Amino acid sequence: MEAGHKAGYLEEFGVTSVLSADMMPRIWGGDQESAEDRPDLALQKWLQQLPDVIMSQINLALQQESPFMPPDVTPEMMAESNSSVPSMNHIEILYRCLDLAMRAKDYKIAAAIIYVVDRACYRFGRSGALLNVVDEIMQVSPETPIAPQVVLRKARVLKDTGDLHECKWEYKDNIQYENTKAVCVQIKGQILHNLGLWKEAITPLVDSVDSFKLVRDNKGISSSLGLLSRCLRKLSYDDFINLRIMYPVHLVADESLLMYAVVQQAVSKEHHYFDTILDEMKKSLAGHQTVRHLHSIESFFEFVRAVFMISLTLAFSPSTKMYILQGF
């Protein structure tokens, strides 16, 4: 084992290090013996088994093209069976590539693989193992750039502050910087939410909605609005009214506002509540133009939630016919 490399990464990821006899020649071809002794060669052999869409993301990560993976590369897609090695999915192959990259001390490619597999690890409960590799890279190769998405994942998992002082990412433009900042603020709100500090979580979550709107990140907006709705339903009526005065535009696109709008005595005078709810929900739906956008659990949840909220709003609104005539 090479100095500085921790043994057992495959085991931590739940992947066996033993390959069947018929799989080995399929991966290595005629170079089986040399590849087994050369982790750098074996790494290239395994990378060749990945589909183009995943390899393109690894290459983009090496070029630091974006601080976050595109939302259309979903964890579910990564968990699909690999066409070259049907007994494995793409994630398992990426785990092997990561292990080989660390053995070969190719920390840049290792960091790129971590970036690509990060969301899938988080979804399937392997973030702890992945962050152990991140920690090792930061220790043995501090000059290796770690993507903001991964640094922020560490903050999510460890309930840290979201500080990016360990991140050496070079932002291509202000939009990338603002997007990263928006996620940081969102994490702060999420931490407060997880701690049961519902009222205190409102401000950072509202700020994150504004920041995500600047960069047109509909997924980020939906996530923050979802957290907002869970916080607002925990507030007292007086607290909600006070916060609505502070944030008259933001605190309207969730279940809590609909509840308060319905219980108002003069509900017929509260048309603007329903108008705003519908407007915000339509923005949420705008990110789901085709079935392809519903592959992840989060996106499907936001889609169903938006449709459900619209149906409730139309059911309670005194102007349902007007909305229908306007084409909603």
Q: Which of 38-47, 173-182, 183-192, 242-251 has the lowest mean pLDDT?
A: 242-251
Could you give the count of Cα atoms lying within 13 Å of 132 in the half-sphere of its Cβ? Answer: 15
The pLDDT score that the predictor gives to residue 157 is 79
Residue-wise pLDDT for 123-154, tens only, equals 888 998 999 999 999 999 999 999 989 988 88
Q: Is residue 182 part of a domain?
A: yes
Taking only the tens place, the pLDDT of each residue in 289-323 is: 666 655 555 566 566 666 666 665 565 555 544 44
Closest CA to 322 of 313, 255, 296: 313
Check if the beta carbon of residue 69 is closer than 8 Å to that of residue 123.
no
Query: In this predicted structure, what is the pLDDT of residue 311?
Result: 62
pLDDT of residue 87 exceeding 70: yes
pLDDT at 118: 95
**Domain range for residue 303?**
269-316
Give the Cα separation of 32 and 51 in Å (integer).
22
**pLDDT, tens digit (0-9, with 9 covering 90-100), for 181-226:** 899 899 889 888 887 888 999 999 999 988 988 888 877 887 888 7
Residue 241 lies in a domain: yes
Measured CA to CA, the distance from residue 118 to residue 51 in angstroms comes to 17
Mean pLDDT computed over 239-265 = 61
Q: Are residues 178 and 238 in the same domain?
A: yes
Q: Which of 314, 259, 237 is nearest to 282 (CA)?
A: 314
Q: What are phi and psi of 81, to 5 degrees?
A: -65, 140
Residue 328 lies in a domain: no
46/146 same-domain check: yes
Is residue 291 domain-resident? yes
Same domain, 217 and 301: no
pLDDT beyond 80 at 116:
yes
Radius of gyration (Cα) for the chain, nearest Å?
Answer: 23
Report the pLDDT value the prediction gives residue 130, as an integer from 0 to 100: 94
